[in-house]
């Protein structure tokens, strides 16, 4: 991991490659944790790794690992709390806690629960796991910034199947009503949910139009292209006075070719051999 | 130390005027907002039922109406707390508890968030509107959640005291604010102490433990029992959680039986909480008064309280039966 830092890279192509490498490290780390615990949410961890890498390691989020509760920090809320493996790996890579600690994933009494616990782990803003909780919390934190005359922003990452929960749309109405342009919803649009493709389960499309109808400025982006993500995240809000929704098109299981786009890999557990194979594909070594 | 210990005799003001506790809650909420910039109110279109018109006028920037959306209501309040605000969520108890249950569990209790739930018009306050609008399950639901403090004030004095206390409390709270008019049972010098039962009346034969609007009825029952030569202790168990085990065990050791009374389901609330303590530490004859395992029929709140025996006479009868049976 320790090499030239992101901030020292000037050429977009270098920055993009660097972030891709971090994302792949997050992927392999999360899958190693899943193998260790023999439990985890493989597909979703892998689909959101690039988004997490760009937000935390690409300098988008104004957070300080040495002061996790710095009042003026940007808030990031992982609404798809089951993707804790990728999230913990990202927080560790950012320096919120030692990377070594990832080896305790889901162990008895570990700080690394199967879903994030803000009381146990620095860097976690909200306890999530049941779906549809993150967006209302994010709306509250964005309203709080306004009440406190602060300029922090609130990013919330939701799954796509998760949007079937009605609480998201209650929160979206509130965000629109209060014109929360400090709120950014990122949808990990991997098109799969636990049992099947979203469109076979409960149709999500036209998803962008739905968000627009709820008063959001919407952009669609390749969720595996660090440069595209960086560009989007660097130009927020899309419209002043309106909350933003970024639909990040992703592939569930991305990077573990045998798991890509396969419903069974929602929480499939990779074997050691599969980890090594994936590591070769991703250009990252399994480090424990 | 209870009030009895402090002043030597129970300080009970005779029944006079009746009060809607929402007035006490809302005026103190304004007082808290004036005192602390972090105080804000969050509602679900409940502006007038939560008595917040004046708050909204005075503090429009610290007032959020999320509309008729209770999951969002509690989630938004969790986010406000994350931002450093101290949100008071003011909504009808029936919707606040039932519709937001998972948000209360996860976003507040599990997360130990500094949010205060002000649950309005609980119990059967909505009378003829029926069981959809009654909130008789709330005490059972709320008290089982780890980390959640649950308080049921008995009168406007205690409501105001609890509201003032709430500003300093760490962690989530559920405050059950009565709408049905109650008399004052506490004097002006009342001091709220979390987790401490208030001994409103000394007694050695039987102990009546009540909360909310049943406290004044328990006091009336104690007077009626006194006329029969029976000495009844009355405890206002306004803090349902954390529960005052000491006061319960003392009552079990020094009186012959315990009657609990609450304007809620007899299952799982105050009676259940007291029974859990006694069954494990000092088995004691009990009567649990509350709404039995039914949804209420149609009727005004006062009629329904009578219907279910949640009256001074009902408490008196339960105490007499208990003592007769225990010889």
Model pTM score: 0.95
Q: Where do the H-state alpha helices sit in chain A?
A: 12-37, 42-47, 49-52, 84-94, 134-147, 166-177, 198-201, 207-213, 226-233, 272-282
> Cα–Cα distance between B75 and A135 in angstroms, integer?
8
- How far apart (Å, rounded) are the C-alpha atoms in residues B316 and B314? 5
Distance from CA of B91 to the nearest CA of A (A): 16
All residues of chain B having their beta carbon less than 8 Å from the beta carbon of residue A133 are 75, 102-103, 106-107
| Chain A residues in contact with B107 (beta carbon < 8 A) | 126-127, 133, 136-137
In contact, A101 and A93? CB cutoff 8 Å: no
DSSP state of A74: P
Beta strand segments in B51-197, E: 63-65, 86-92, 116-120, 149-151, 173-177, 182-183
Q: Which of B61, B75, B112 sits opposite A136 (nearest CB)?
A: B75
Query: CA–CA separation, B322 vs B132, rounded Å?
Result: 34
B21-177 fold: Rossmann fold (3.40.50)
How many Å lie between the alpha carbon of B6 and the closest alpha carbon of chain A?
A: 40
**pLDDT tens digits for A52-103?**
999 999 999 999 999 999 999 999 999 999 999 999 999 999 999 999 999 9
Q: Confidence class of residue B327 from pLDDT cuts 50, 70 and 90?
A: low
Average pLDDT over every residue of A30-58: 97
What pLDDT score does B6 carry? 46
**Cβ separation A143–B110 shorter than 8 A:** no
B82–A126 C-beta distance less than 8 A: yes
Tell me what ipTM this predicted complex has.
0.95
Shortest Cα distance, chain A CAs vs residue B128, angstroms: 29
Q: Which of B62, B72, B78 sits opposite A147 (nearest CB)?
A: B62
Is the confidence at residue B108, as pLDDT, over 50? yes
For residues A243 and A216, give the distance between their C-alpha atoms in angstroms, rounded to a whole number.
5
Residue B156 has pLDDT above 80, yes or no: yes
Residue B265 forms beta bridges with which residues? Answer: B291
Contact criterion met (CB < 8 Å) for A144 and B80: yes
Whether the domain at B21-177 and the domain at B198-326 fall into the same CATH topology: yes
Q: Decide if A171 and B75 are in contact by the 8 Å CB cutoff.
A: yes
Q: How far is B70 from chain A (nearest CA, A)?
A: 9
Q: Class of A15-282 per CATH?
A: alpha beta
Note the maximum CA span of chain A: 52
Mean pLDDT for chain B overall: 95
- Give the SS3 label for residue B210: strand
- CA A197 to chain centroid, in Å, comes to 20
Distance of CA B84 to the CA centre of its chain: 27
Identify any residues that bridge with B261 across adjacent strands, giving them in sequence order.
B210, B289
pLDDT at B113 over 80: yes
* A154 at B interface, C-beta within 8 A: yes
Shortest alpha-carbon distance between residue A138 and chain B (Å): 6
Where residue A263 falls (left for φ over 0; alpha for ψ -120 to 50; beta otherwise) is: alpha
Taking a C-beta distance cutoff of 8 angstroms, is the pair B25, B177 a contact? yes
Supply the pLDDT for residue B326.
Answer: 74
Residue B12's pLDDT is what? 55
Report the residue of chain B nearest A129, measured CA to CA: B106
Which of B186, B187, B322, B207 is closest to B260 using CA atoms? B207
Residues of chain A with C-beta less than 8 angstroms from the C-beta of B64: 143, 174, 178
CA nearest to A245, candidates A274, A281, A209: A209
Chain B residues whose CB is inside 8 A of the A78 CB are none
B222 Cβ contact partners less than 8 Å away, ≥ 6 residues apart: B201, B203, B208, B232, B233, B234
Domain positions in chain B: 21-177, 198-326
What string of DSSP letters covers B267-325?
Answer: SSSHHHHHHHHHHHH----EEEEEE-SS---S--HHHHHHHTT-SHHHHHHHHHHHHHH
For the segment B251-266, what is each residue's pLDDT rounded down to a tens digit?
Answer: 999 999 999 999 999 9
Q: Please report the pLDDT score of residue A5 as a whole number.
A: 87
Mean pLDDT of A268-276: 95
Look at B107 and A135 and tell me if their CB atoms are within 8 Å. Answer: no
Domain ranges of chain A: 15-282
Tell me, what's the pLDDT at B325? Answer: 85
**Which residue, among A144, A166, A180, would best test binding to B if mutated, counting the most B CBs under 10 Å from its CB?**
A144
Identify which has the larger pLDDT, A2 or B231: B231
Q: Of the candidates A133, A36, A35, A121, which has an alpha carbon nearest to the alpha carbon of residue A82?
A: A133
Query: CATH assignment of B198-326?
Result: 3.40.50.920
Tell me: pLDDT of A137 over 90. yes
Contacts for A177 with CB less than 8 Å, ≥ 6 apart: A215, B67
- Give the lowest-confidence range in A64-68, B1-5, B173-177, B323-327: B1-5
Count of CB contacts below 8 A, A vs B?
112
From B173, B34, B37, B177, select the one nearest B115 (Cα to Cα): B173
* Helix axes A166-177 and B70-82, enclosed angle (nearest 10): 60
Of A137, A145, A170, the CB nearest to B78: A137
A156 touches chain B (CB under 8 A): no
The tokens of A238 are what? 């899309």
């Amino acid at each position: 991991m320790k090499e030239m830092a992101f901030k020292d890279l000037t050429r977009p192509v270098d920055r993009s490659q660097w972030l891709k490498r971090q994302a792949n490290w997050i992927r392999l780390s999360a899958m190693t944790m899943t193998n260790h615990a023999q439990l985890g949410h493989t597909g979703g961890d892998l689909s959101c790794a690039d988004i997490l890498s760009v937000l935390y390691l690409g300098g988008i989020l104004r957070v300080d690992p040495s002061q996790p509760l710095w009042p003026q920090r940007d808030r990031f809320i992982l609404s798809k709390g089951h993707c804790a493996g990728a999230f913990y790996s990202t927080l560790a890579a950012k320096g919120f806690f030692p990377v070594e600690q990832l080896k305790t994933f889901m162990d008895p009494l570990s700080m690394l629960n199967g879903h994030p616990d803000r009381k146990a782990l620095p860097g976690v803003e909200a306890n999530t796991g049941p779906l549809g909780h993150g967006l209302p919390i994010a709306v509250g934190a964005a309203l709080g910034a306004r009440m406190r005359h602060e300029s922090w922003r609130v990013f919330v990452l939701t799954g796509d199947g998760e949007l079937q929960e009605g609480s998201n749309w209650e929160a979206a109405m509130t965000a629109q009503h209060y014109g929360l342009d400090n709120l950014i919803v990122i949808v990990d649009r991997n098109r799969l949910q636990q049992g099947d493709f979203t469109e076979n389960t409960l149709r999500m499309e036209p998803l962008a139009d739905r968000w627009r109808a709820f008063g959001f400025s919407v952009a669609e982006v390749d969720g595996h292209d660090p440069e595209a993500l960086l560009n989007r995240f660097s130009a927020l809000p899309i419209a002043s006075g309106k909350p933003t929704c970024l639909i990040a098109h992703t592939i569930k299981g991305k990077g573990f070719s045998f798991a890509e786009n396969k419903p069974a890999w929602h929480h499939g557990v990779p074997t050691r051999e599969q980890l090594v194979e994936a590591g070769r594909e991703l250009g990252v070594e399994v480090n424990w | 130390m209870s009030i009895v210990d402090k002043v030597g005799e129970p300080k009970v003001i005779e029944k006079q005027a009746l009060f809607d506790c929402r007035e006490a809650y809302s005026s103190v909420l304004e007082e808290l907002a004036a005192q602390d910039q972090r105080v804000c109110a969050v509602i679900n279109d409940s502006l007038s039922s939560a008595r917040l018109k004046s708050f909204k006028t005075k503090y429009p920037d610290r007032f959020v109406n999320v509309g008729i959306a209770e999951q969002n209501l509690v989630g938004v309040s969790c986010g406000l707390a994350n931002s450093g605000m101290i949100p008071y969520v003011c909504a009808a108890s029936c919707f606040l508890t039932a519709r937001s249950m998972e948000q209360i569990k996860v976003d507040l209790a599990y997360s130990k968030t500094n949010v205060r739930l002000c649950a309005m018009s609980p119990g059967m306050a909505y009378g003829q509107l029926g069981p959809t609008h009654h909130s008789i399950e709330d005490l059972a639901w709320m008290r089982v959640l780890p980390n959640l403090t649950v308080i049921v004030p008995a009168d406007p004095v205690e409501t105001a005291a609890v509201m003032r206390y709430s500003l300093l409390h760490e962690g989530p709270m559920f405050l059950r604010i009565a709408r049905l008019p109650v008399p004052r049972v506490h004097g002006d010098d009342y001091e709220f102490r979390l987790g401490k039962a208030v001994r409103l009346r000394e007694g050695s034969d039987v102990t009546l433990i009540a909360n909310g609007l049943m406290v004044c009825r328990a006091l009336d029952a104690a007077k009626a029992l006194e006329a029969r030569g029976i000495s009844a202790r009355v405890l206002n168990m306004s803090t349902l959680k954390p529960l005052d085990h000491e006061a319960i065990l003392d009552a079990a050791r020094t009186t012959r039986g315990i009657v609990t009374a609450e304007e809620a389901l007899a299952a799982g609330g105050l009676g259940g909480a007291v029974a859990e303590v006694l069954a494990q530490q000092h088995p004691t004859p009990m009567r649990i008064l509350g709404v039995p395992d039914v949804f209420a029929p149609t009727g005004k709140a006062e009629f329904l309280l009578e219907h279910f025996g949640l009256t001074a006479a009902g408490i008196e009868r339960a105490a007499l039966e208990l003592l007769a049976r225990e010889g």
